[in-house]
Amino acid sequence: MKRMNMNAVGRWICDMLAVCKREFALVFRDMGVVLFFLLLPTVYPILYALIYNPEYVREVPVVVVDDCRSDMSREYARRLDASQYVKIVGYAANMQEARKCMAEKECYAIVNFPEDFSRCIGRGEQAHVSIYSDMSLLLRYKGILMAATDVQAAMGADVRAEVMQQAAASGTAGIGMIPTIDSASVAMGNTAMGLASALLPGILVLILQQSLILGVCMLAAGSRERARLNGGIDPKEIRTGDVRQMLGKTLCYLVIYIIPLIYILKYVPMIFSYPQNGHSLDMIAFMVPFLLSSIFMGMTIQVFIREREAVFPLFVFTSVLFLFLSGLSWPRFAMSGLWYLIGSCFPSTWAMNGYIAMKSNGALLHQVSHPYAMLWLLTAVYFLLALAVRKFIDKKQEHAGMKN
Amino acid sequence: MKSLLSVIKESIWRGCMFVMSRPLYLVSIVVIPLLSGFIMLDLLKEGIGNHVPAAIVDLDGSDLSRRVTSNLDAMQTVDVKRSFNDFTEARDALQRGDIIGFFVIPENFAGEALAGRVPEITYYTNYAYFVPASLMYKGFKTISVLSNGALVSTTLVTAGLPESSVTALLMPYVNDMHPLGNPWMSYQIYMGHSFVPGILALMVMIITVYSITDEIKKKTSVEWLKSAGGSIVVALIGKLAPQTLLFTLAGWILQLATYALYDFPLNCNIVVMMTAMFLMVLACQAFAVTVCGIVPNLRLALSVCSLLSVLAFSIGGFTIPVEDMYRWIGIVSYILPIRYYFLIYIDQSLNGVDLYYSRYYFIALLVFVLVSFIPLFNLKRMCKKPVYVP
């Protein structure tokens, strides 16, 4: 009796391995799938890195309208020009001329010194500078704002020092010692404070998920196309139990994905010097449920894909949505409950946030236990969904195919 | 011999039948762009990032440090969710993703400040999340400047200086920022006008490629060409005109939603933007036709268009200015129709400049249509002898 059981288990495993072996053959004989599984994860990270590599904006062109024409306004403009974010491309006679420059896209901001600019400082009043900024890109606005704030603080400190000196010299009471507070800002996670280092780690994870899901869908669609030509039965499929089929295929994909996984999560950040914290073992442990849930999600979605080509629209359209739902661009805490919930249904959301926590912020596995647990939960849910889809929908279609 | 008009009519009828032949097409043409546009606009509904989760580590516990804390708590951009006893606890929370940043007030803070030894408040922000980190940085910075200001002005006023000159002394120069067109600095307005039409553009390209090359794949292209009287131009008009209409309608609905429902800035005549939308749909179709003409193979043409349309969101210069990209990468943005729609939006709708300044963008969209005629001979050749390479 016991022996029988052993035999059954052994046969079960043998079946599964046979499916796995067959799947390997199917993958590597299908150029489209090889492209999705291997070339896409190789090329996309490099393309994205090259696009975002500049990290931040430099030398945003700015035009100055100087109605004051004093030493002070020129000094202010000179310091703006010296900032790495801004470049003064010219002086305009009046606002009208400057606005024309802006309409021609020769500049993206206008700095206007009013007539009484230096007089205000001399009188001991606040001097105002008007800065009109184009809002087409927030990154440009940010650059202009940073440059202006730096100059404002530095020039202000000069004025203050001068006034204090005068006050001390004239002996105004009690000004000798003024309590002050200093402040320092420390950027964590992404010490370069660049856009690439913030976006790319998440995008890398998304690329893994998308390529995996699409490869899986494409394989399934290929099998279905073969079945359609062959009276409802795919001749290349090994006929065995559903669970064995699913696990065998999953094993095959997992083995194939070892290489893209290491390349994307370890070497791409190294090549482009993105944040590289966290422990490799933690990372691998974290990625297992991510890959599993992505595979099972692919096996669930595949029911909607009738033709191999239909995966392309699916790929492009879902990539953008998953990116937004992940909270990488617009934070998750600012989303409404509905979108938070929908975002939680996809492995990419949890994997991206968990990976960023580990890779950028140096979190250990126990610190990302929430996303980790959610990934395992999604693995279970999608496994059951995929099984249900196989059992009920695919079988039905197969019968329909047989009748035809 | 049938008249040209009746051939075109027949061809358009065939195009309509194609669109209606499978629900998938209608879903891709109308439902997906509208749905994803709605998702994106609704997702960014808040628009202005408020209440970024933060924590405070108050090692001093003095009257002064509590005042700083309560000032921070009162800020709209920052939501002080937790307070920790030391740096390690706060860092742990940041690593777990519970907070985006924290503010550390050092030990003996009030004492040192009053003794004139300039203590330092340190704020830590997690720049792995770029947008909330930037917002939080602004909040933290404001608080530290204000705290300093409050302290200094109290001392100076007590010392007998008039309050008006104290303000001027604290901040002699003031930058009055005027963010043109989007004074709320709403993230929704910023992202909505590039990503929402972006998804539409993407679907236009993919569906166009699909509907042309599918004829070649299924070898129905011979019959398709014949029904158009042997003219590839008529065949394309017939196939694509119904789609142009549907896509443009979807685009107009999206525009209506952004302007009427979500109050995006509209500083030009709405007709200008509607025309731009129509031209963009046309240009995207033309772009797809050009790709089909060069590589008349379903999978290859689809791959090229998918690759480009996904990259368009990054390479189109919606987040990083094209002039800051590597030059040879920035060039790619100019072959994307969506880029010109984006530029028209900036000029007309956001900034409201004269139509004259956007003239080249409109011309560029038309150039896409003209260019698409060049590789038609190749497409026609393939349509006559369809070969499907799997």
The verdict on B175 touching A (C-beta cutoff 8 Å) is yes
Residue of A nearest to B183 (CA): A135
Please give the structure tokens belonging to residue B68.
Answer: 């700083």
Measured in residues, chain B has a length of 390
Residues in contact with A393: Cβ distance below 8 Å, sequence separation at least 6, in sequence order: A303
Interface list for B 99-128 with A (CB within 8 A)? 100-101, 109, 113-116, 118-128
Give the HSE-up count for residue A336: Cα atoms under 13 Å, Cβ half-sphere.
Answer: 10
Q: Which pLDDT does position A404 carry in this prediction?
A: 43
CB contact under 8 A, B177 and A148: yes
Residues in chain A with CB shorter than 8 Å from the CB of B314 are 48, 51-52
Can you name the residues that pair with A287 across neighbouring β-strands?
none
Q: Closest to A189 (Cβ–Cβ): which among B109, B126, B314?
A: B126
Q: Which residue has the higher pLDDT, A3 or B20?
A: B20
Sheet with B52-58, side-by-side order of all strands: A182-188, B120-126, B101-105, B52-58, B78-84
Residues in chain A with CB shorter than 8 Å from the CB of B170 are 160
Backbone φ, ψ for residue B295 (5° rounding):
-120, 85
Average pLDDT of span B144-150: 84
The verdict on A71 touching B (C-beta cutoff 8 Å) is no
Interface list for A 20-59 with B (CB within 8 A)? 32, 35, 47-48, 50-54, 56-58
Give the HSE-up count for residue B167: Cα atoms under 13 Å, Cβ half-sphere.
Answer: 7
The position carrying tokens 């035999």 is: A7
Q: Which residue has the higher pLDDT, A179 or B90?
A: B90
pLDDT over 50 (residue B29): yes
Q: Closest to A198 (Cβ–Cβ): which among B101, B130, B180?
A: B130
Average pLDDT of span B244-265: 93
The verdict on B13 touching A (C-beta cutoff 8 Å) is no
pLDDT over 70 (residue A194): yes
Average pLDDT of span A252-258: 94
The verdict on B185 touching A (C-beta cutoff 8 Å) is yes
Share of chain A above pLDDT 70, in %: 95
Q: How confident is the model at residue A35 (pLDDT cuts 50, 70, 90)?
A: confident
Question: Which of A296, A306, A258, A305 lies closest to A280, judged by CA?
Answer: A258
pLDDT over 90 (residue B270): yes
CB contact under 8 A, A137 and B319: yes
Residues in chain A with CB shorter than 8 Å from the CB of B72 are none
* pLDDT (tens digit per residue) in A360-377: 999 999 999 999 999 999
Please give the structure tokens belonging to residue A72.
Answer: 């002070």
Q: Which residue has the higher pLDDT, A358 or B166?
A: A358
Give the HSE-up count for residue B149: Cα atoms under 13 Å, Cβ half-sphere.
Answer: 19
Q: Closest to A51 (Cβ–Cβ): which among B91, B199, B315?
A: B315
pLDDT over 90 (residue A383): yes
Q: Which residue has the higher pLDDT, A176 or B177?
A: B177
Strand-strand pairing, B101-105 and B120-126: antiparallel
CB contact under 8 A, B329 and A51: yes
Sheet with A86-91, side-by-side order of all strands: A86-91, A60-66, A109-113, A127-133, B173-179
pLDDT over 80 (residue A3): no
Residue A21 class from Cβ within 10 Å (0-12 exposed, 13-18 middle, 19+ buried)?
middle
The verdict on A276 touching B (C-beta cutoff 8 Å) is no
Residues in contact with A204: Cβ distance below 8 Å, sequence separation at least 6, in sequence order: A45, A264, A265, A268, A269, A355
Backbone φ, ψ for residue A66 (5° rounding):
-105, 100
The verdict on A137 touching B (C-beta cutoff 8 Å) is yes
Q: Which pLDDT does position A58 carry in this prediction?
A: 87
Q: Across chain B, where does the E strand assignment appear?
A: 52-58, 78-84, 101-105, 120-126, 173-179
Number of Cβ within a 10 Å radius of residue A166: 10
Residue of B nearest to A158 (CA): B172
Can you name the residues that pair with B102 across neighbouring β-strands?
B55, B124
* pLDDT (tens digit per residue) in B179-196: 998 888 888 888 888 889
CB contact under 8 A, B39 and A330: no
Q: How confident is the model at residue B98 (pLDDT cuts 50, 70, 90)?
A: very high
* pLDDT (tens digit per residue) in A71-123: 999 999 999 999 999 999 999 999 999 999 999 999 999 999 999 999 999 88
Residue A215 to residues A211, A256, A301, B130, B279, Cα–Cα distance (Å): 6, 11, 12, 31, 35
The verdict on A198 touching B (C-beta cutoff 8 Å) is yes
pLDDT over 90 (residue A177): no
CB contact under 8 A, A141 and B179: yes
Question: Which of A357, A163, A334, A21 lies closest to B47, judged by CA?
Answer: A334
**What are chain B's domains?**
4-45+184-384 (no CATH), 52-148 (3.40.1710.10)
| Domain ranges in chain A with CATH number 3.40.1710.10 | 60-167
Average pLDDT of span A158-177: 72
Q: Which residue has the higher pLDDT, B299 or A96?
A: A96
Tell how far CA A187 is from the center of its chain. 18
Q: Across B165-249, where does the E strand assignment appear?
A: 173-179
B257/B233 Cα distance (integer angstroms): 34
Q: Which pLDDT does position A81 carry in this prediction?
A: 96
Q: How far is B4 from chain A (nearest CA, A)?
A: 34
Residues in chain B with CB shorter than 8 Å from the CB of A63 are none
Q: Which pLDDT does position B291 carry in this prediction?
A: 94
Considering chain B, what is the average pLDDT of its residues?
89
A381/A372 Cα distance (integer angstroms): 14
pLDDT over 70 (residue A171): no
Q: How confident is the model at residue A193 (pLDDT cuts 50, 70, 90)?
A: confident
Interface list for B 299-328 with A (CB within 8 A)? 299, 302-303, 305-306, 309-311, 313-315, 317-321, 324-326
Residues in chain B with CB shorter than 8 Å from the CB of A349 are none
Instruction: List the single best residue of B105, B313, B320, B360 to mutate versus A (max A Cβ within 10 A).
Output: B320
Considering chain A, what is the average pLDDT of its residues?
88
* pLDDT (tens digit per residue) in B327-350: 888 888 899 999 999 999 999 999
Strand, coil or helix: A57: coil
The verdict on A294 touching B (C-beta cutoff 8 Å) is no
pLDDT over 90 (residue B296): no
Helices B32-43, B187-217: crossing angle, 10 deg rounding: 160
The verdict on A363 touching B (C-beta cutoff 8 Å) is yes
Question: Which of A53, A361, A363 lies closest to A199, judged by CA?
Answer: A53
Q: What is the pTM of this model?
A: 0.90
Question: Which of A206, A237, A212 lies closest to A299, judged by CA?
Answer: A212
CB contact under 8 A, B173 and A321: no
Q: What is the DSSP string of A243-270?
A: HHHHHHHHHHHHHHTHHHHHIIIIIHHH
| C-beta pairs of B330-334 under 8 Å, 24+ apart in sequence | B334/B364
Q: Closest to B131 (Cβ–Cβ): which among A105, A189, A330?
A: A330
Strand, coil or helix: A232: coil
Strand, coil or helix: B61: coil
Please give the structure tokens belonging to residue B4.
Answer: 């040209």
ipTM: 0.89
Share of chain B above pLDDT 70, in %: 98
Strand-strand pairing, A127-133 and B120-126: unpaired
CB contact under 8 A, A126 and B174: yes
Instruction: List the single best residue of A36, A146, A183 to mutate versus B (max B Cβ within 10 A).
Output: A183
Question: Which of B168, B160, B183, B101 lies closest to B134, judged by CA?
Answer: B101
The verdict on B23 touching A (C-beta cutoff 8 Å) is no
Q: Closest to A331 (Cβ–Cβ): which among B28, B132, B306?
A: B132
Range picked from A350-359, B73-82, B221-230 for highest mean pLDDT: A350-359
Share of chain A above pLDDT 90, in %: 51
Range picked from A238-247, A302-311, A376-385 for highest mean pLDDT: A376-385
* pLDDT (tens digit per residue) in B45-70: 877 777 899 999 999 989 888 888 88
Query: What does DSSP assign to residue B231?
Result: -
Residues in chain A with CB shorter than 8 Å from the CB of B176 are 128-131
CB contact under 8 A, A330 and B187: yes
> Which of A56-60, B20-24, B181-185 is the least confident region?
B20-24
Q: How far is B61 from chain A (nearest CA, A)?
A: 16
Residue of B nearest to A131 (CA): B177
* Backbone φ/ψ region at B62: left (φ over 0), alpha (ψ -120 to 50), beta: beta
Residue A292 to residues A74, A203, A251, B44, Cα–Cα distance (Å): 62, 19, 9, 31
Q: Which pLDDT does position A95 carry in this prediction?
A: 95
Q: Closest to A104 (Cβ–Cβ): which among B43, B121, B357?
A: B357
CB contact under 8 A, B172 and A155: yes
Q: What share of chain B is helix, strand, coil (3-state, %, to 5)?
A: 70, 10, 25
Q: Which pLDDT does position A403 carry in this prediction?
A: 45
Please give the structure tokens belonging to residue A126.
Answer: 């606040």
Average pLDDT of span A222-242: 83
Q: Closest to B173 (Cβ–Cβ): which among A155, A172, A309?
A: A155
Q: Identify the CATH class of A60-167.
A: alpha beta
